[in-house]
Amino acid sequence: MATLLVDKKDQLFVLKEMLNIEKLCKFPQFEDHTEFDMVLSEAHRFAKSEFYPTAEEGNTKGCIFDPKTNTVKFPECYRKPYEKFREGGWLSMCDSPESGGDGFPLTIGTAVSELFYAAGFYIYGTAELSHAGAKVIEKYGTDAQKALYMTRLFSGEWMGTMCLTEPDAGSDVGQIQTTAVEEPDGSYCLTGTKIFISAGEHDLTKNIIHMVLARIDGDPPGTKGLSLFIVPKFKTDNDGQIEERNDVVCTGIEKKMGLHGFVTCTMSFGDKGQCTGYLLGKRGNGITEMFNMMNEQRLLVGLQGLSYSSAAFLHAVDYTQTRKQGQSVDPEKKDIGGRVPIIEHPDIKRMLLTMKSQVDGGRALAYYTSFSMDMACVSTGKEKAKWQGITELLTPIVKAYLTNNSWEMTGMAIQCAGGYGYCSEYPFERLARDCKVSSLYEGTNGIQAMDLVFRKLIGNNCKNFAELLKQIETTIQVAHQIEAIKPYAVTIGSLKDELAKLLDQFITEKKLGDTLSLYAKATPFLEAMGDVLLGWLHLWQMTIAYEKLQAFGGEETILKSTRNKKDEAFYFGKLNCAKFYIDTLLKVTKGKIDALTVAQTPITKSFNNSFTG
């Protein structure tokens, strides 16, 4: 079943043939890690045998809230897989040995995470929040906080949460009303309500550590007055032995469209005036500290969106190969008679190719971003700054582009399966319901687009964008040397230039004060930029696949003999997928860019009249 979740062969292609991940092992930080194939194989085995069997029960039984005790029960089937997950050290595989991790590159960790999200998001998504909490304590915590909380979060002994959102303060974080009053012993008493808190209450671990954004009494309004606090569900001694329940309770869980096996809670802090929290880092530095968690989660949420698209695509391929309906419309097969598998129908092939191109391109984008983080880790000086800049630039695109696509791709998979795709006996409708929230949380995709345009591009004077363009240009130059794929290089080069020209226009509009129009254009611009980036990555893959096919005898030779030759068929598929994306889907992107060159005059202060007449 793991093969219907993530294509391992494509994972290895991106890791080894595109990114050449082995070169990271030449650096001291990663010199002990070379067995990436073995790690990935074990991850596939674990995902298939432990995580995936919990998906259906998690979806149908869901999480149960008991209003009498204010507790939440996870499905019982989660327990053993989670304990095995903990024992395997999967959660901290990319963290330093000093923190209890294995020190693997983030790039290989990203490949493992994609697989675990696809197989068992309900468990893995819960656990990953603990990792984000551990990382922020690692960076800002005291030695005592690290010893008590960080180590147990990294190991998965305890789980963690991220508590930002309030009933009147969603994306507008500066409006947070939760307050903290300092106690004589240096701790703080917190009072307030948080909503949509993932894994805020459950029975999978003995303790839950909440990372809570609050305003210390007397501090200024807005984001500058916020601080970050560690608030445990149970108070403990310095050795982690539980002593008493803290004054923090779950007052209800959200009834959601999807993710029924993944709990989100309304949390009340200090109803009895006895909620104890501990300041993390510096007073008033909470928003900076919290965004360390947010940025990690944004990349992971993008990966989550990719995992849904991948599973939907592979299940669609499997279904369309076995479902027989209608006769072939191929003139060469029309006289065969009888019903054919629906994968033979051109419209189905079009949808499958669309899904494959988005999944393959999205995987390359996510892995390349993690590779940029690894390169920043092993580099120094200007080289380090370059890779950090590319990572910052790509983060909102990974989050928004891949999650927007997941909604479209899971819907397309339903379409491939017809009426059965809409029924719960197949996984398509669950994947569609589950994926939608990924475009909403950790900052809605509209916020990601505004962050991209105003901070990561214009606010950065396009320095990081210029570095990314150099990377793209390198691929274009390589492709120009191969006559058969030169036309595709020309297409990518043209779109790259048009995207840069459009950004120059945006900068001019900003200088002229036309920011209202830019806010409206941010989301379609992110979409267009994501399209172009996938085009670049497909071109990169095309250069590799073409050379491989030549070694096998060329496309015509392969076309006659791929049926039983998996390697040849794989590269043939990569080449044709890239051609389809650049020749077909990317043609639409030219129109998207053209549309953004037009001033959006209806987006004015009186725009509401357009709805009311």
Q: What pairing do the DSSP bridges indicate for beta strands 179-182 and 159-163?
A: unpaired
For residue 99, what pLDDT is reported?
85
For residue 338, what pLDDT is reported?
75
For residue 433, what pLDDT is reported?
96
Tell me: pLDDT of 605 over 70: no
For residue 413, what pLDDT is reported?
97
Rg (CA), the chain: 25
Here the tokens at position 184 are 């004589």
Provide the b/e sequence for 307-327 (b: ≥16 CB within 10 Å). Answer: bbbbbbbbbbbebbeebeeee
Tell me the H-state helices in 451-513. Answer: 463-480, 486-511
For residue 232, what pLDDT is reported?
98
| Residues annotated as part of the active site | 442
Tell me: pLDDT of 608 over 60: no
Which helix (H) or strand (E) segment holds residue 215: the answer is strand 208-216
In the predicted model, what is the mean pLDDT of residues 512-524? 91
Q: Report whether 129 contacts 282 (CB < 8 A).
A: no
In this prediction, residue 601 has a pLDDT band, given cuts at 50, 70 and 90, of low
Other CB atoms within 10 Å distance of the CB of residue 587: 12
Span 71-117, pLDDT tens digits: 999 999 999 999 999 999 999 999 988 888 899 999 999 999 999 99
Length of the chain: 613
For residue 220, what pLDDT is reported?
92
Listed residue (446, 475, 482, 607) closest to 533, CA to CA: 475
Q: Give the residue with greater pLDDT, 560 vs 337.
A: 337
Calculate the alpha carbon distances from 392 to 195, 372, 449 in Å. 28, 10, 13
Q: Report whether 201 contacts 208 (CB < 8 A).
A: yes
Span 542-597, pLDDT tens digits: 999 999 988 887 666 655 555 557 788 899 999 999 999 999 999 999 999 999 99
Span 305-335, pLDDT tens digits: 999 999 999 999 999 999 988 888 888 776 6
Listed residue (583, 506, 505) closest to 542, CA to CA: 583
In angstroms, the CA 148 to CA 109 distance is: 25
For residue 191, what pLDDT is reported?
96
Which stretches does DSSP call E strand in 246-349?
248-253, 264-269, 276-280
Provide the whole-model pTM.
0.94
Q: How much of the chain exceeds pLDDT 70, in percent?
A: 94
Calculate the alpha carbon distances from 226 to 53, 129, 173, 284, 481 in Å. 42, 21, 9, 5, 55
For residue 613, what pLDDT is reported?
52
Calculate the alpha carbon distances from 16 to 70, 111, 364 in Å. 49, 12, 12
Here the tokens at position 298 are 């944004």
In this prediction, residue 1 has a pLDDT band, given cuts at 50, 70 and 90, of very low
For residue 600, what pLDDT is reported?
62
Span 211-225, pLDDT tens digits: 999 999 999 988 889
Span 359-399, pLDDT tens digits: 999 999 999 999 999 999 999 999 999 999 999 999 999 99
In angstroms, the CA 251 to CA 269 distance is: 10
Span 440-496, pLDDT tens digits: 988 899 999 999 999 999 999 999 999 999 999 999 999 999 999 999 999 999 999
Nearby residues of 362 by Cβ (< 8 Å), 6 or more positions away? 305, 306, 309, 401, 402, 405, 534
Listed residue (71, 68, 61) closest to 208, CA to CA: 71
In the predicted model, what is the mean pLDDT of residues 516-521? 92
Span 138-183, pLDDT tens digits: 999 999 999 999 999 999 999 999 999 998 876 777 788 999 999 9
